[in-house]
Structure 1
Amino acid sequence: MATPLRLRTTVTGIAALTSLAAAVGVGYAIGQDSGPTGTPESPRIRLANADLTSPGSCDALLQSYVDRAVEQVGPWGWDGEMRVFAAEGDAAMPLSSSAGVERSMPTTSRTTSDESGTNVQEAGVDEADVVKVAGSLLLRVRDGELLAYDVSGDAPVLLSTTPVPAARSHGWPHDPGGEMLLVDGRAVVLGTTDTGTTITTVDLSDPRSPSIVDTTTVTGHASAVRLTGDVVRVVVQTELPQLDFSTPDGTLGELRARLHNRALVRGTTLADWLPTVDGQPVVDCGDVAVPADEDLALGTTTVLALDPASPTTRTATAVATDSDTSYFSTDRFYLAAGAPAWWGPWSECIDCGVGLPEKPRGTTPIFAFALDGMEASYVASGEVAGTIADRWSMDAVGGSLRVAVGPSAATGTANSVITLREDGSSLVEEGRVDDLGVGETIQSVRWFDDLAIVVTFRQTDPLYAVDLTDPAAPVLLGELEIPGYSDYLHPLGEHRLIGLGQDATADGLVQGAQAALFDVTDLANPRQIDVVRYDPGTWAGASSDPRQFTWLPDQRTALAVVDGSSAKGMTGWVSILSLADGRMTNRMVEVEHGEAVYDVRLVPLASGKVALVTGSDVSFLAL
């Protein structure tokens, strides 16, 4: 019996653009508390169980950081620390950073079109991007500037250019030099500095003459930025403090260095452990929860909420652990905690999907927070055996949290899909499907209301269809094994699915990018019905950034950014995939060169046109 894919009800980008388009119109007329003090007063943390504890005072909170930290510092500094730093004055660079393409971390994906023009993970939760649209107004951030365009005519017209503090590019892969959200006629632009994240609010009441309303720099790295309703939430990670550690020298050098370094740790203040603005913590001591599990990565993960209409109005809730694996639904925030990373520092991009290797850990704790207006309240927690690769591995619907889990020391070599529900203050397991891709790595996951499509890979590409209709009893319906793999999946109606990833030989040798068309009419027997193979050495941009894929349902056309080497160096193409009668025809359009390839976006407009945004230009793509 044919079973249609049931994707969560969404408002597509083209249709929903009219909501702000009416306000923009020809004239572009679009609409338009003190911060935390560091004291333990009026805590927003309501401790649901013993998994998170409240220190009770600022002194006790600081002591909890110090007690854990002194056990992790040695004669060379933080134990296991291996860092590579750029020249003085530049931000630190990740290990293995190069001008080439680094694609070692698979990205699992479940995205849908948002009214702002961005492919997002969750319907109703917008994400920061380098481009946003509202009716006939298109905004982009490029090299420290916010550019506004009128896209209502035959060609885009630049209306204004506004310098935005700290929204600059370091020229590294996946570093767009600033990303933004658009909220009721105001752009909230996030940029990276050497010491933190700068949040700039720009009033666009007159797009020809925007004005900066507020600029705030928060210490720490922004690992996720989300918009629900009119509330912007920034997940800020504060890693281990950079202290003036000694190194061993001479007789008893290691002992002396260890004692000196531990003394430095004991001399830290809360400003070293919490995100700050102008030297003052942005989160109250009473709003920082400390995990009972002392083996979790030391640091702080803070959810900072702000109102763009009054950008200095902020709330903050934090957990005293450092994690970049978080997921937002419309009413929940889930933080998956992990063990300390082997090395640092952070990548400079937001939501780039490139994390740092972690020390092996058998289980992954998950903390759940309820979102209500600008507040985030701790409501439940639990743990799963295994590893959670990234935010795309989690999904929530109907009160059920579904998680795609990779292997760990506690699970062996298989992958699983696990469902959890809130039972009082606990996240408890409802059901599970095990033994997916034994000895293989999860490459992608696509979540639907009652279905999960999971792709794993080692030598071949098994695609698994898991029925989640009954969360307490998930069922593996069918599987398909083909060469290569798909690490980005997108539904094309009820019975078709497109996968972007890599072609591979029968023994698992990666060849180049590919687009695969799947027929999932019969979930017990999914089929690959067509495939487009790109040149050797190419990569599909959506593999690491789903924002580089666009589906145009009215035209039955998929637009995918593909990059690779050519006589001109690194080159980016738009692959225009037209679908008809179960087949794909492909036309390649060369659009960009160099690292600007990562900035390419294909944005559907209310007019039916598609804006092509490249490193230096905005134009219309000829379909």
Structure 2
Amino acid sequence: MRVRRITTSIAAVTSLAAAVGVGYVLGNDPGAGTVPASPPIALANADLTVAATCDDLLDSYVERAIEQVGPYGWGSGAVAFGSSGGDSEASSPSASAGTLRSTGVKTSRTTSNESGTNVQELGVDESDVVKVAGSLLLRLREGELLAYDVSGDVPSLLSSTQLEDARSNGWTADPGGEMVLVDGRAVVLGSSDDGRTTTITTVDLADPTAPSIVDTTTIKARASAVRLHGDVVRVVLQNSLPELDFSYPDGAFGEIRAELRNRSLVRGTTLADWLPTVDGDPVVDCTDVAIPDDDEIALGTTTVLAVDPAGPGTRTSTAVATDSDTSYFSTDRFYLAAGGSQWGGWTDCMDCRTGMTAPSGTTPLFAFALDGMDATYVASGDVEGTIADRWSMDSVDGSLRVAVGPSSETGNFNSVLTLREDGSDLVEDGRVDDLGIDEEIKSVRWFDDLAIVVTFRQTDPLYAIDLSDPTDPQLLGELKIPGFSEYLHPLGEHRLIGMGQDASLDGMARGAQAALFDVTDLTDPRQIDVVRYPRESQAGAGVDPRQFTWLPEQRVALTVVSQGWTGTTGWVSVLSLDDGSMTNRMVEVEHGSDVADVRLVPLQSGKVALVTGEDVSFFDIAG
């Protein structure tokens, strides 16, 4: 099928070229070839420009690509598929002790979504393998959409929809698929084996006993994130370096000849090799692809595609000419962090940490404003250092907050920075440095006026940073303990739980742990209890936060713990909190690769659904 595209409201290349000349893109079309006196949306600055024609856009890709091809193909010859309880010691820095501006954790922005998924941002749902709406539970299993009625004593299977069209267009059981659910329709995403193709299938569930597939579209691109804003589904698509029929030198075909032929292949590429396409046609217009002015960031294309589930043929798209899977959505902004070129395999896990490197030690950032179906460039800038993943970014009240690790342009420490939009630039507003010297950021959790940052090398410093004044963030206190937390979750205003790894005093990981923190006094955060799991075990939430569920009324946390690389066993750890302590009960629920798909989903009825590889049941919290 052909995609009917609704692009941003630029009427012609000539009017866009005029806008770029003065550093703006039109937010509304005031007339052919004219530019309003006060353009509503800023676009172009020294970091970001737009090609005047499609030929110019293609030339920009080819010019950079020629520098990256050699006698063995891209780079060194590998095809790039992606950017791809112990004693505690607390300290309260004297510089901030007298200027305390925050005395508790505000948790209004961090909660599980009503669809049953544990999300990063309140009001922004995320894709998952399980979704609920009232008494309806949906789950994906090997290209099959299963619908259950969970209103009775036991879950009852209503229907099973084989996504046959998706299979014929490249669906695979591995990496499986994820979905969002909106207004009685499921939007399901699946990937091809090589990670270069995404199938988007829209399923109407008006009658959940007889669902119907209303649209199936296959896009040449890899989906790295899916978000739901109201009734708009947004998909982040990645296109890395094209697969070309490169030559390789041998005795009769030397390196010089191979390199010349390979460069010729790059010069022969078309925009369909660089942009996401449906049936060979790009889904983003040339005038909606922004070109970064930095030759050292990963070459490729990252596209934000918006889909209307009520009319799946209606889409909007905008893109940046770089390949990156490090992105963050707030309720009204999308931020893309560009990384340096990376070579090797790709990961099939959406939103997982990739260990992205910063080009030249500095990470470019691009900001988009979200309005209905549109995503429009508004500002760009950069930060010195590396951004590990989406959890390292946050936005509130117009302030972008970023946790960065060390790079060639920084000291041997981590930092938290605040940035603001100044015209079309993202400019630094304030910062805190010297967090975890010679250590790596393991987890970050943001609140309205607070950041909690965990780093690790041999011990686990937990830092509390006051962000109530973005121009003057302050380190309030820190806690040093063995082990580290890979995922942090708020448990009310005064408690945090951290899922991660226990470690010896010399930094050797020993097994999964759950740590309970008291943050009533942010100048003196304390670890008040810890549960240690068997040796060589893993906390699922450390990789995928969707394997953590908090039940505030019962004061119970449910989280998946696994052990073993072969013969893997998965448990649900039932952590009951009472007066500052935790008790743990382990329930064996799954084995093998299916452990990664275990979900514990709160239902409207107050029950909790346990979804395993082969079954859906109700989980007995009390045991």
For residues 537 and 83 of structure 2, the distance between their equivalents in structure 1, rounded to whole angstroms, comes to: 23
Match in the other structure for 1:609? 607
Can you list the C-alpha shifts for 1:209-246, whole angstroms capped at 9, x where unaligned?
Answer: 00000000011110010110111010000000000000
Q: CA deviation at 1:252?
A: 6.5
Are residues 407 and 532 of structure 1, via their aligned partners in 2, closer, same or farther at CA, if it must alter by over 3 Å? same
Q: Does 1:501 align with 2:500?
A: yes
Q: CA deviation at 1:294?
A: 1.6
For residues 421 and 541 of structure 1, the distance between their equivalents in structure 2, rounded to whole angstroms, comes to: 35
Match in the other structure for 1:71? 67
Moved more, 147-156 or 162-171: 162-171
The answer to whether the Cα contact below 8 Å between 1:36 and 1:282 also exists between their aligned partners in 2 is no
Amino acid at match of 1:55: A
DSSP 3-state at the match of 1:368: strand
Can you list the C-alpha shifts for 1:107-144, whole angstroms capped at 9, x where unaligned?
Answer: xxx95200100011111111100000000000011101
For residues 544 and 219 of structure 2, the distance between their equivalents in structure 1, rounded to whole angstroms, comes to: 25
Match in the other structure for 1:265? 266
Are residues 253 and 36 of structure 1, via their aligned partners in 2, closer, same or farther at CA, if it must alter by over 3 Å? farther
Q: Does 1:302 align with 2:303?
A: yes
The answer to whether the Cα contact below 8 Å between 2:73 and 2:79 also exists between their aligned partners in 1 is no
Match in the other structure for 1:344? 344
For residues 433 and 172 of structure 2, the distance between their equivalents in structure 1, rounded to whole angstroms, comes to: 43
Match of 2:619 among 585, 608, 621: 621
The answer to whether the Cα contact below 8 Å between 1:179 and 1:191 also exists between their aligned partners in 2 is yes
Match in the other structure for 1:186? 185
Q: Does 1:238 align with 2:239?
A: yes
Are residues 521 and 40 of structure 1, via their aligned partners in 2, closer, same or farther at CA, if it must alter by over 3 Å? closer
For residues 302 and 576 of structure 2, the distance between their equivalents in structure 1, rounded to whole angstroms, comes to: 43
Q: Does 1:467 align with 2:466?
A: yes
Amino acid at match of 2:69: V
User: Where do 1:317-328 residues align within 5 Å?
Assistant: 317-328=318-329
Q: CA RMSD in A?
A: 2.2
For residues 141 and 236 of structure 2, the distance between their equivalents in structure 1, rounded to whole angstroms, comes to: 22
Match in the other structure for 1:101? none
For residues 75 and 112 of structure 1, the distance between their equivalents in structure 2, rounded to whole angstroms, comes to: 52
Q: Does 1:492 align with 2:488?
A: no
The answer to whether the Cα contact below 8 Å between 2:83 and 2:298 also exists between their aligned partners in 1 is no
- 5+ residue gaps, structure 1, are 1-32, 85-91, 96-109
Match of 2:46 among 38, 45, 50: 50
For residues 382 and 71 of structure 2, the distance between their equivalents in structure 1, rounded to whole angstroms, comes to: 34
Amino acid at match of 1:287: D
The answer to whether the Cα contact below 8 Å between 2:143 and 2:173 also exists between their aligned partners in 1 is no
For residues 432 and 574 of structure 2, the distance between their equivalents in structure 1, rounded to whole angstroms, comes to: 37
The answer to whether the Cα contact below 8 Å between 2:298 and 2:338 also exists between their aligned partners in 1 is yes
Q: CA deviation at 1:251?
A: 5.7
Amino acid at match of 1:58: C
Amino acid at match of 1:622: D
The answer to whether the Cα contact below 8 Å between 2:296 and 2:359 also exists between their aligned partners in 1 is no
Q: CA deviation at 1:48?
A: 3.5
- 5+ residue gaps, structure 2, are 17-24, 27-42, 85-108
The answer to whether the Cα contact below 8 Å between 2:7 and 2:316 also exists between their aligned partners in 1 is no
For residues 355 and 582 of structure 2, the distance between their equivalents in structure 1, rounded to whole angstroms, comes to: 37
DSSP 3-state at the match of 1:271: helix
Can you list the C-alpha shifts for 1:515-571, whole angstroms capped at 9, x where unaligned?
Answer: 0011111110111110000000101000000000000000000001000039x9101
For residues 516 and 346 of structure 1, the distance between their equivalents in structure 2, rounded to whole angstroms, comes to: 32
Q: CA deviation at 1:81?
A: 4.2
The answer to whether the Cα contact below 8 Å between 1:517 and 1:529 also exists between their aligned partners in 2 is yes
Q: Does 1:437 align with 2:436?
A: yes
Can you list the C-alpha shifts for 1:435-487, whole angstroms capped at 9, x where unaligned?
Answer: 00000000000100000000000000000000001000001000000000011
For residues 350 and 292 of structure 1, the distance between their equivalents in structure 2, rounded to whole angstroms, comes to: 28
Match in the other structure for 1:398? 397
The answer to whether the Cα contact below 8 Å between 1:38 and 1:284 also exists between their aligned partners in 2 is no
DSSP 3-state at the match of 2:564: strand
Are residues 41 and 260 of structure 1, via their aligned partners in 2, closer, same or farther at CA, if it must alter by over 3 Å? farther
Match in the other structure for 1:11? none
Q: CA deviation at 1:349?
A: 3.0
Q: CA deviation at 1:323?
A: 0.5
Q: CA deviation at 1:65?
A: 0.6
For residues 294 and 378 of structure 1, the distance between their equivalents in structure 2, rounded to whole angstroms, comes to: 20
DSSP 3-state at the match of 2:5: coil
Can you list the C-alpha shifts for 1:593-620, whole angstroms capped at 9, x where unaligned?
Answer: 0000000000000000000000110000
Q: CA deviation at 1:358?
A: 3.7
For residues 565 and 332 of structure 1, the distance between their equivalents in structure 2, rounded to whole angstroms, comes to: 40
Q: CA deviation at 1:35?
A: 2.5
Moved more, 515-524 or 38-47: 38-47
User: Where do 1:87-106 residues align within 5 Å?
Assistant: none
Match in the other structure for 1:449? 448
The answer to whether the Cα contact below 8 Å between 1:297 and 1:321 also exists between their aligned partners in 2 is yes
Match in the other structure for 2:20? none
Amino acid at match of 2:187: V
The number of aligned residues is 564
Can you list the C-alpha shifts for 1:253-312, whole angstroms capped at 9, x where unaligned?
Answer: 010000000000000000000000011000011111111112111000000111000001
Are residues 397 and 81 of structure 1, via their aligned partners in 2, closer, same or farther at CA, if it must alter by over 3 Å? farther
DSSP 3-state at the match of 2:360: coil
Match in the other structure for 2:553? 554
Match in the other structure for 1:538? 537
The answer to whether the Cα contact below 8 Å between 1:201 and 1:308 also exists between their aligned partners in 2 is yes
For residues 592 and 479 of structure 1, the distance between their equivalents in structure 2, rounded to whole angstroms, comes to: 38
Are residues 520 and 37 of structure 1, via their aligned partners in 2, closer, same or farther at CA, if it must alter by over 3 Å? closer
For residues 406 and 35 of structure 1, the distance between their equivalents in structure 2, rounded to whole angstroms, comes to: 39
Moved more, 36-45 or 611-620: 36-45
For residues 317 and 556 of structure 1, the distance between their equivalents in structure 2, rounded to whole angstroms, comes to: 43
TM-score (norm 1): 0.87
Match in the other structure for 1:34? 4
For residues 322 and 237 of structure 1, the distance between their equivalents in structure 2, rounded to whole angstroms, comes to: 6
The answer to whether the Cα contact below 8 Å between 1:40 and 1:56 also exists between their aligned partners in 2 is no
Are residues 359 and 188 of structure 1, via their aligned partners in 2, closer, same or farther at CA, if it must alter by over 3 Å? same
Can you list the C-alpha shifts for 1:190-209, whole angstroms capped at 9, x where unaligned?
Answer: 00124400000000000000
Are residues 305 and 93 of structure 1, via their aligned partners in 2, closer, same or farther at CA, if it must alter by over 3 Å? closer
The answer to whether the Cα contact below 8 Å between 2:504 and 2:510 also exists between their aligned partners in 1 is yes
DSSP 3-state at the match of 2:58: helix
The answer to whether the Cα contact below 8 Å between 1:360 and 1:409 also exists between their aligned partners in 2 is no
The answer to whether the Cα contact below 8 Å between 1:338 and 1:361 also exists between their aligned partners in 2 is no
DSSP 3-state at the match of 1:515: strand
The answer to whether the Cα contact below 8 Å between 2:338 and 2:358 also exists between their aligned partners in 1 is no
Amino acid at match of 1:350: M
The answer to whether the Cα contact below 8 Å between 1:125 and 1:228 also exists between their aligned partners in 2 is yes
Match in the other structure for 1:30? none
Are residues 38 and 82 of structure 1, via their aligned partners in 2, closer, same or farther at CA, if it must alter by over 3 Å? farther
The answer to whether the Cα contact below 8 Å between 2:83 and 2:341 also exists between their aligned partners in 1 is no
Can you list the C-alpha shifts for 1:478-518, whole angstroms capped at 9, x where unaligned?
Answer: 00000000111111111111110000000001000000011
Match in the other structure for 2:568? 570
For residues 434 and 404 of structure 2, the distance between their equivalents in structure 1, rounded to whole angstroms, comes to: 11
Q: CA deviation at 1:346?
A: 2.2
Amino acid at match of 1:145: E
The answer to whether the Cα contact below 8 Å between 2:172 and 2:191 also exists between their aligned partners in 1 is no
The answer to whether the Cα contact below 8 Å between 1:380 and 1:424 also exists between their aligned partners in 2 is yes
The answer to whether the Cα contact below 8 Å between 2:82 and 2:324 also exists between their aligned partners in 1 is no
For residues 205 and 299 of structure 2, the distance between their equivalents in structure 1, rounded to whole angstroms, comes to: 40
For residues 334 and 533 of structure 2, the distance between their equivalents in structure 1, rounded to whole angstroms, comes to: 38
For residues 156 and 141 of structure 2, the distance between their equivalents in structure 1, rounded to whole angstroms, comes to: 16
TM-score (norm 2): 0.87
The answer to whether the Cα contact below 8 Å between 1:51 and 1:292 also exists between their aligned partners in 2 is yes
